[in-house]
Amino acid sequence: MAYVLDKDGKPMMPTKRRGKAKNLLRDGKARVPKLELFTIQLLYDSTEYTQPISLGVDAGNKTIGISAATEKKELYAAEVKLRTGIVDLLSTRRAFRS
């Protein structure tokens, strides 16, 4: 997936068409401002069409799930596992101080 910014740096809808992004870069119609999350910035004026995106967060006891989706597809999903055993580590440290 390639995230897209317009000419002014405002976010647009991401695209799964990596070939389209590659062609825009090759033709000099876009540049790459970020490699971390592959993002291209258009160098020409474009329509500002965006869709509503809903964010879902599931805060569980040991795992947190995050998802961003439109009505048709999921744009981003992540799962974070929380640390467990911190109470045991603190108890061990407390025992060494005595």
Per-residue pLDDT of the chain (98 residues; tens, 9 = 90+): 888 999 999 989 888 888 999 999 999 999 999 888 889 999 999 887 788 999 999 999 899 999 999 999 898 899 999 988 888 999 999 999 87
pLDDT at 50: 80
pLDDT for residue 34: 81
| Predicted pLDDT at 55 | 95
End-to-end CA gap in the chain: 55
Tokens of 35: 């490699």
This prediction has a pTM of 0.64
Structural domain spans, the chain: 3-42, 54-97
Residue 41: the pLDDT is 94
Strand order in the sheet with 63-69: 54-59, 63-69, 74-81
Q: Is 57 helix (H, G, I), strand (E, B) or coil?
A: strand
- The whole-number pLDDT of residue 33 equals 93
